Structure 1
Amino acid sequence: MNIQIKNFEQLSTQELYVIIRLRNEIFVVEQNCLYQDADNKDLAAYHVMIKSDDALLAYARVLPPGISYPEVSIGRVACDKSARGKGLGQKIMEQSLSFIKSEFGSCTIRIGAQTYLNDFYKSLGFENEGRPYLEDGIEHIEMLKRV
């Protein structure tokens, strides 16, 4: 397994295709959620990937301040079905947090977390901010963490 972090320009067309496919498999098909994944934010994002050979096992998108929120944000956190239960969700988040600290310094990170993952994100130091809300038919809550 190896970890890679690339901006949009550094992604190969193959990598971009695999990222989009994984996100669609999970967020559109598995979660039965119709939404516009191609939201132009990928162009400004850092793409955090855990790979085994050419297979994408886990992914997260780190967005600089001002793209989704005034703060740095992490989103589109996904783990391939074949790799679940192996701690890769934790690992991709830890890598994202470490990257944010090195790239942006001490800052606040805001995420829009699916509420069923609230305990997972709390275990990483995030705290609830505000009340739950529906996004694309799935309950979410904003969460903050200072690094």
Structure 2
Amino acid sequence: MTLHWTTKPFHDLALTELYALLQLRSEVFVVEQACAFQDIDGQDEAAYHLLGHTESGELAAYTRLFDAGKCYAQVSIGRVVVSPKYRRYGLGRELMRQSIAQCDALFGPQPIKIGAQFYLREFYQSFGFQQQGDIYLEDDIEHIYMLRP
């Protein structure tokens, strides 16, 4: 499956794009993971938004990208999500490749930090991320900080 990728700052998002990305994040991070938390966290305006659309225009994959100092001291990637409808096509791997490439293009090659769900540690390690510190709980889900030098 091939996606059409676009990266936009918050203020360039169309209302339909904003609605679709918030809907996808809610579907996965709130409903699927049964986690009541404040997804709309006041950081969307500081982020670039990487959107992967299908040929029919449906949002299938998404991440937020932050310049250094906006979320962490380093450049960062967050809200990594693939629609349940489009899993098992390798889109998670493509999403991370695109996210890293976009971080390099937007902010220049430099270390990237993420706060990853612990069970995905090996997935992120395959992209060069290394665990930094101990497991911590975020919304009752085990997470770890990881850094890609």
Partner of 1:57: 60
Match of 2:140 among 120, 137, 141: 137
Q: What amino acid sits opposite 1:51 in the alignment?
A: H
Cα deviation 1:1-39 (Å, max 9, x = unaligned): 301111101100000000000000000000011111111
CA contact (8 A) 1:41 1:63 kept: no
Within 2, Cα distance between the matches of 1:30 and 1:54?
A: 23
AA at the equivalent of 1:120: F
List gaps (5 residues or longer) in structure 1: none
SS of structure 1 residue aligned to 2:40: coil
Contact 1:46 1:61 in 2 (8 A): yes
Q: 1:42, 1:115 → 2: CA distance?
A: 24
1:71 maps to 74
Moved over 6 A (4+): none
Q: TM-score, normalised by structure 1?
A: 0.97
Cα displacement string for residues 48-78 of structure 1 (whole angstroms, at most 9, x for unaligned residues): 1110122000001101111221111101000
Could you say what the CA RMSD is over the residues aligned between the two structures, in angstroms? 0.8
Q: Report % sequence identity.
A: 46
Calculate the TM-score normalised by the size of structure 2: 0.95
Residues of 2 paired with 1:6 and 1:93: CA distance? 16
Unaligned runs of 5+ in 2: none
Q: Answer yes or no: is 1:39 the counterpart of 2:17.
A: no
Mapped partners of 1:90, 1:5: distance in 2? 17
